[in-house]
């Protein structure tokens, strides 16, 4: 049976690039994001291997329905890439915007937890793989960065989840990029890491043999 990868934040950037790379490697892909039109366009470009599921991953019930739709379509989940995330426009603590913090924390932390909570029962069936997007900002201290603090949570959570999944033969991989040329930044960053670079890292992790668990891949720009 063809393996299936579910991706959150799949409508652009790293998520879109990973969907295309996985499909090229023979995987089915379930694409989750809020942008229905973008998802539909990507799914059409990929073909029958792709399922577009518009979903707000901060809504656990909506996420549950999306996972059910993916399993109904493809039969099982073999890997999940919790990639959805965001930053803030107002940096720092003293001058930061608490409303922005709330939205970001819900997506960067709670949505990752929801994604794991909802998909782990399916991944347990296949001894599957959970991949999550962290950041260099979750490995270093950055002046006043609330975004970085959310990625510190992801850094710790991924290691703890890897130990939990190991008990039943599952695996968890944390991807920690430096600056990636995506819409996260206002200006293009063509000399920095490209989304396809991260997609290759994800595919490297999830296509390892059963005897190997890649716990973390740290990717930095080469300039």
Q: Which DSSP string do the residues of the chain spell out, in sequence order?
A: ---EEEEESTTSHHHHHHHHHHHHTT-EEEEEES-HHHHHHHHHHH-TTEEEEE--TT-HHHHHHHHHHHHHHHS--SEEEE------SS-SSTT--HHHHHHHHIIIIIHHHHHHHHHHHHHHHHT-EEEEE--GGGTS--TT-HHHHHHHHHHHHHHHHHHHHHTTT-EEEEEEESSBSSTTSSS--TTSB-HHHHHHHHHHHHTS-TT----EEEE----
Task: Give the C-alpha separation, 209 to 8, whole Å.
Answer: 24
Say what the alpha-carbon torsion angle 7, 99, 145, 15 is, to the nearest 10 degrees. 10
pLDDT for the residue numbered 183? 67
Residue carrying the six token digits 């929801």: 114
Arithmetic mean of pLDDT, 185-196: 80
Beta carbons within 10 angstroms of residue 181's beta carbon:
19
pLDDT for the residue numbered 192? 87
pLDDT for the residue numbered 117? 98
Angle at 120 between CA 117 and CA 123, to 5 degrees: 160
**Phi, psi torsion values for 83, nearest 5 degrees:** -110, -20
Q: Which of 25-34, 90-99, 143-152, 180-189 has the lowest mean pLDDT?
A: 180-189
Arithmetic mean of pLDDT, 18-36: 97
Domain residue limits at 37: 4-219
64 classed as catalytic: no
Percent of the chain residues topping a pLDDT of 90? 92
The domain total for the chain is: 1
Using the predicted structure, report yes or no on whether residue 185 has a pLDDT greater than 90: no
Arithmetic mean of pLDDT, 26-32: 98
Confidence band for 181, pLDDT divided at 50, 70 and 90: confident
Please tell me which residue in 114, 147, 152, 157 is annotated as part of the active site.
Answer: 147
Arithmetic mean of pLDDT, 129-138: 97
Using the predicted structure, report yes or no on whether residue 1 has a pLDDT greater than 90: no
Q: Which residues, listed in sequence order, are joined to residue 80 by a DSSP beta bridge? A: 6, 130
Arithmetic mean of pLDDT, 6-31: 97
Using CA atoms, how far residue 178 sits from 78, 124, 152, 199, 223, in Å, is 27, 31, 14, 14, 11
Q: Residues 67-114: pLDDT tens digits?
A: 999 999 999 999 999 999 999 988 899 999 999 999 999 999 999 999
């Amino acid at each position: 049976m063809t393996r299936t990868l579910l991706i959150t934040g799949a409508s652009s950037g790293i998520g879109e690039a990973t969907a295309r790379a996985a499909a090229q490697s023979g995987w089915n892909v379930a694409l989750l994001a809020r942008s229905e039109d973008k998802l539909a366009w990507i799914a059409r470009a990929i073909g029958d291997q792709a399922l577009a599921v518009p979903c707000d991953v901060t809504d656990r019930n909506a996420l549950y329905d999306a996972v059910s739709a993916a399993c109904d379509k493809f039969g099982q989940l073999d890997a999940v890439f919790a990639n959805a995330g965001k930053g803030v426009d107002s940096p720092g603590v003293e001058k930061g915007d608490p409303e922005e913090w709330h939205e970001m924390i819900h997506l960067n932390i709670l949505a990752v937890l929801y994604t794991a909570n909802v998909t782990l029962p399916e991944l347990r069936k296949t001894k599957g793989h959970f991949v999550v997007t962290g950041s260099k900002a979750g490995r270093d201290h950055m002046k006043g960065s609330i975004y970085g603090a959310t990625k510190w949570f992801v850094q710790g959570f991924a290691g703890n989840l890897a130990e939990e999944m190991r008990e039943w033969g599952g695996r968890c991989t944390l991807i920690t990029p430096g600056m990636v040329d995506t819409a996260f930044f206002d200006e293009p960053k063509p000399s920095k890491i490209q989304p396809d670079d991260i997609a290759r890292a994800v595919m490297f992790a999830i296509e390892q043999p059963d005897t190997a668990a890649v716990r973390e891949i740290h990717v930095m720009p080469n300039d």
